[in-house]
Amino acid sequence: MSGTPGFSDRVVAGWVSMRDVLTDAERRLAAAGVPSPRTDAAILASHVTGIPRTRMLLQDEMNSEQRTSFERLLTRRMARIPLQHLLGVAAFRHLELAVGPGVFVPRPETELVAEAGILALNGVDHPVAVDLCTGTAAIALALATEVTGAEVFAVEIDTSAVEWARRNIDVHQPAIDDHESTVHLLHADATRVAEESGLLCDRRGTINLVVMNPPYIPEDAQPTEPEVRDHEPRIALFGGPDGLEVVRSLLVTAADLLRPGGIVIIEHADRQGEAAGDIGVPGLMRGGDTAPAWAQVRDHLDLTRRPRYTTAVRTAWES
Confidence of residue 319 (pLDDT cuts 50, 70, 90): low
Q: What is the CATH number of domain 7-79?
A: 1.10.8.10
Domain ranges in the chain? 7-79, 93-314
The answer to whether 92 touches 106, Cβ cutoff 8 Å, is: yes
Residue 68: which residues within 8 A CB-CB, separation 6 or more?
none
pLDDT at residue 83 is higher than 70: yes
Q: What per-residue confidence (pLDDT) applies to 7?
A: 45
Q: What is the average pLDDT value for the chain, to the nearest integer?
A: 91
User: Is a pLDDT exceeding 60 seen at residue 10?
Assistant: no
pTM metric for this prediction: 0.90
Q: Which of 212, 203, 301 is nearest to 257 (CA)?
A: 203
pLDDT in tens, 134-165: 999 999 999 999 999 999 999 999 999 999 99
Give the three-state DSSP class for 79. Answer: coil
How far is the C-alpha of 216 from the C-alpha of 234, rounded, in Å? 11
Report yes or no: 200 and 222 within 8 Å, Cβ to Cβ. no
Judge whether 136 and 165 are in contact, CB under 8 Å: yes
- Express each pLDDT in 20-59 by its tens digit: 889 999 999 999 999 999 999 999 999 998 888 877 776 6
CA distance 173 to 260: 31
- The CATH class of 93-314 is alpha beta
Measured CA distances, 241 to 97, 217, 218, 225, 290 (Å): 31, 9, 5, 20, 20
Region of 153 on the Ramachandran plot (φ > 0 left; ψ -120 to 50 alpha; else beta):
beta
Note whether 7-79 and 93-314 share their fold: no
CA distance from start to end of the chain: 84
- What is the CB neighbour count within 10 angstroms for residue 33? 11
